[in-house]
């Protein structure tokens, strides 16, 4: 699937995929979409974008962690103190 979606700009290129989810999850998603007043597909797209962003962040953090530790930066507080 090609991901070119930017919130507020619509879909530049889109592909359809089919997934199977439990009935309870579908009900929860539909209820949340209704509460948020957005289409179900937008809710799922937004959820997937957030999931991918978190995964990318964790991968980058894992890749940079050894370099930070080598500099004595062991906690987020160490980083904040360095840049403050």
Q: Find the radius of gyration of the CA atoms of the chain.
A: 19
Could you tell me the pLDDT band of residue 5, with boundaries at 50, 70 and 90? Answer: low
Separation between Cα atoms, residue 78 and residue 84, nearest integer Å: 10
pLDDT in tens, 58-74: 999 899 888 888 888 88
Q: Is residue 5 part of a domain?
A: no
Residue 12 is predicted with a pLDDT of 63
Q: Is residue 41 part of a domain?
A: yes
Check if the beta carbon of residue 63 is closer than 8 Å to that of residue 55.
no
Q: Is residue 1 part of a domain?
A: no
Split into its structural domains, the chain has a count of 1
Separation between Cα atoms, residue 11 and residue 8, nearest integer Å: 9
Q: Is residue 8 part of a domain?
A: no
pLDDT in tens, 27-46: 999 999 999 999 999 999 99
Q: Judge if pTM exceeds 0.85.
A: no
Residue 1 is predicted with a pLDDT of 40
- Domain assignment of residue 46, given as a range: 23-83
Separation between Cα atoms, residue 76 and residue 3, nearest integer Å: 31
**C-alpha distances in angstroms, 62 versus 52, 55, 70, 80?**
15, 11, 14, 18
């Amino acid at each position: 699937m090609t991901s070119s979606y930017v919130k507020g700009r619509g879909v530049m290129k889109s592909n359809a995929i089919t997934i199977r989810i439990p009935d309870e999850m579908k009900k929860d998603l539909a209820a949340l979409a209704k509460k948020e007043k957005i289409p179900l597909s937008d809710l799922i797209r937004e959820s997937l974008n957030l999931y991918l962003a978190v995964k990318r962040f964790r991968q980058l953090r894992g890749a940079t962690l050894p370099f930070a530790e080598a500099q004595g930066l062991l906690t987020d507080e160490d980083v904040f103190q360095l840049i403050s």
